[in-house]
Structure 1
Amino acid sequence: MPDSSAPLVSVILPVYNAGEYLRPAIDSILSQTLQDFELIIVDDCSPDGSLAVARTYEADPRVRVLANKQNRGRSFTDNYGAEFARGRYIAKMDADDVARPQRLQRQVEFLEQNPTVGLTSSFMQCFGESDIVYTYPVSADAVRCFMLFNMPVANPTVFFRHALLTEHGLRYDDTILDTFGEDYEFIARAAEVVAIVNQPEILLNYRTLPQTIKGDVHARRNAKSNQIRERLLRRFGIPFTERELLVHNTISYVPFTLGNITLPEVHAWLWKIKDYNAQTGYADPAVMLGCVAERWFLTCYLNPDNATNSFREYRRQPLAGHYKLTTKLQAKFLLKSYVLRHR
């Protein structure tokens, strides 16, 4: 018999050493315009007092605080919180971000209005060390195409039907002990069983921290992402050599350095993806063409090789005809290519 007291949304907030930022994160959920929710906070043995901060909210009947007996990592912590979730929908939340007041309302409305969509996320506004806006592919086909290269959703705003867990048995892979790659791996498996569509609106303020350990973070995250990309390409079914896999992984992660990879090699690989998709119907051909054309532009535009005229190579290849450059961006591209080769 259904639990009539169950909330509409279960918000799962894993915590590890986020004491300094935890109150604003919790407060942003408790002050949502949609109030039919439960907030499940799971502390992963934080040594910084995060659990004590979380416990100060236990008087609120919407809040449940759990604590791992030992440090188990992000994946285990997410799964543990999900075991107690009673809502029709599951909302992810990070312990150092701030949800905008209408986040839950807008995401509930979106899934209610789109019954064929199983998971969504939104755009994010950075604050702290950066003020950029993170945008993501919107349509289901665009998500599937972009996912071959990188994470196609904003993980701190992920929102999905509880059925994804109960009917499809999805869980985060708790053998991934780091907080690098568990979200990408989960989304890749979710995309096999439900449609993923993103909302083109900003529903969360994403905290950016000083660049003190970014080099190590990037290396560890990219190593795990490389494994996930290889798995995705195999599921996509496209045949590839070790060299082509290297090309694919290199151009998927920004910032990157091509090394001894040439731009013609990159274009040949992207064109191969486009052709193979047309044969298999993995995604709408026009959407895939747009995706690989954008990747071709980014590769050329961000290529730091001062021995190559990246702009001329970009324009020389067929994919350039399928990505529209604004006049301003074209001028920046020309200038950058010139400066790199004449400094």
Structure 2
Amino acid sequence: MSDRQPTVSVIIPAYNAANFISQTIESVLNQTFTDFELLVIDDGSTDNTLAVTNQYALRDRRIQVLSQTNQGVSATRNYGVQIAKGNLIAFLDADDLWFPDKLTLHIQHFHANPNLAVSFSRVEFINFQGEPTGQLSTSRLTDLKAEDFLYENPTTTVSNIITRSQVFAEVGGFAEDMSYSEDLEWLFRVLCHQDHIWQIEGIDRVLLYYRASPSGLSASLYRMEAGWDLLIDRAKKYAPSLVQRHYSIARAVHLRYLARRAFRLQLPASVGLDFINRAIVSDWRILFREPHRTLLTILAVYGRYFLSLFQGKKQLIAKSK
């Protein structure tokens, strides 16, 4: 690597990512904006991720591959930030894909707004095999406030985030003891920062393919809930009164999201029922916040639950004959 200062530093944390890392790197190399460095950090992979990425580094001087013992994704991203040379920092997970004009449009976005801390875009979800689902992110893109990051995730994924290196210097890195909601905690911290009035704003274009995980374990949803609880604990340190005002309804919204996710993943009916029931108990106003979404979630979850009861009863009757 040379001592040149690129405009953008792209950071890819990689752990056992050999199946997808080539596609991900190619999506960076195919960018219409070319003044970047690509830092691929192998986080103690046990497959041939390191061999694959080293081959790319031999072919393109903009690519630097580093390797470390397994530290976790937040620590790996923070390490990338420490050695990054660009004034802008972009994150990309090792199985997601950028559209070719992603960097170009985000750089234009930063040039147009000196107070912009984080730029993001719409996202299209792809399945595990890489096939587009046609499902797009629908979060609000503008006028985002700190409390918005307690309710849902407007940026969807860390792969969608491009930020100024100055922001990391001011607010610090990702919380390394968090494996869920660490991006929300960091984004919340950015908007609560007192020394600089930063903005987080999205571009109304799809610039990222986000690969859905094949994992359908209910345990992962409960870990997501625990991650959100940790987010709230951290957020109380920066804005206690704000968290107190929004906590009950924000928790209800998050539990509703987990109920919908349980339904989409076809998890046992009792899992979705648990989440939606606790959402309503947390704050009944969830019935009036996006009522269409809440009603559909209730109908879907309860419908699956009663169907499972009916099918179970039929099986008992059949066995008794």
Q: Which residue of 1 aligns with 2:255?
A: 250
Q: Which residue of 2 aligns with 1:225?
A: 228
Cα root mean square deviation, aligned: 3.1
- Aligned pairs for 1:156-305 (under 5 A) are 156-166=159-169, 168-176=170-178, 178=179, 180-193=180-193, 194-210=198-214, 212-229=215-232, 231-232=234-235, 235-237=240-242, 239=244, 247=252, 249-251=254-256, 253-255=258-260, 256=272, 257-259=275-277, 262=280, 265-267=283-285, 294-304=289-299
Contact preservation (8 Å) 2:252, 2:282: no
Are residues 1:91 and 2:96 paired?
no
1:273: which partner in 2? none
The structural deviation recorded for 1:242 is: 9.5
The 1:236/1:31 distance shift into structure 2, 3 A limit, reads farther
Cα 1:236–1:112 change in 2 (3 A) is farther
SS in structure 2 of the partner of residue 35 of structure 1: coil
Q: Which structure 1 residue ranges, 5 or more long, are not aligned?
A: 271-291, 308-335
Are 2:43 and 2:76, in contact at CA under 8 Å, matched by a contact in 1?
yes
* Offset of residue 74 of structure 1: 0.5
Aligned to 2:38: 39
Q: Which amino acid aligns with 1:111?
A: F
Q: Cα offset for 1:110?
A: 0.6
CA contact (8 A) 2:97 2:208 kept: yes
Aligned residue number for residue 106 of structure 1: 105
Aligned to 1:14: 13
Which deviates the most, 144-153 or 50-59? Answer: 144-153
- Is the CA contact (8 Å cut-off) linking 2:151 and 2:251 kept in structure 1? no
Scaled by the length of structure 1, the TM-score of the pair is 0.72
- Which residue identity lines up with residue 294 of structure 2 in the other structure? T
Kindly state the Cα deviation for residue 51 of structure 1 after the two structures are TM-superposed: 0.9
Deviations 1:170-191 (A, max 9, x none): 2111122x3x222222222122
Q: CA 1:203–1:111 in 2, change beyond 3 Å: closer, same or farther?
A: same
Partners of 1:201 and 1:241 lie apart in 2 by: 30
Q: Please state whether the residue corresponding to 1:13 is helix, strand or coil.
A: strand
Query: How many equivalent pairs are there?
Result: 280
Give the drift of 1:16. 0.7
Read off the aligned partner of 1:66 and give its amino acid letter. L
Within 5 Å, which residues of 2 pair with 1:60-99?
60-68=60-68, 70-99=69-98
- C-alpha deviation, 1:299, in angstroms: 2.2
CA positional deviation for 1:247: 4.2
C-alpha distance in structure 1 between counterparts of 2:282 and 2:82, whole Å? 49
Pairwise mapping of residues 91-170 of structure 1 onto structure 2 (< 5 A)?
Answer: 91-129=90-128, 130-141=133-144, 144-154=146-156, 155-166=158-169, 168-170=170-172
Are the aligned partners of 1:149 and 1:252 in contact in 2 as well (CA < 8 Å)? no
Which deviations, in whole Å up to 9, do the C-alpha atoms of 1:136-160 show, x marking residues without a partner?
211133x544312122213211001
CA contact (8 A) 2:56 2:63 kept: yes
Other structure's SS at 1:259 match = helix
Q: Which amino acid aligns with 2:32?
A: T
Counterpart in the other structure of 2:25: 26
Distance 1:238-1:29 versus aligned 2 partners, 3 A rule: closer
Counterpart secondary structure, 1:237 = helix
Where structure 2 has 5 or more consecutive residues not aligned to the other structure, the ranges are 261-271, 311-321
Q: What's 1:313 paired with?
A: none
The residue that corresponds to 2:314 in the other structure is none
Distance in structure 1 (CA, Å) of the matches to 2:251 and 2:187: 23
- Residue 50 of structure 1 pairs with residue 49 of structure 2: yes
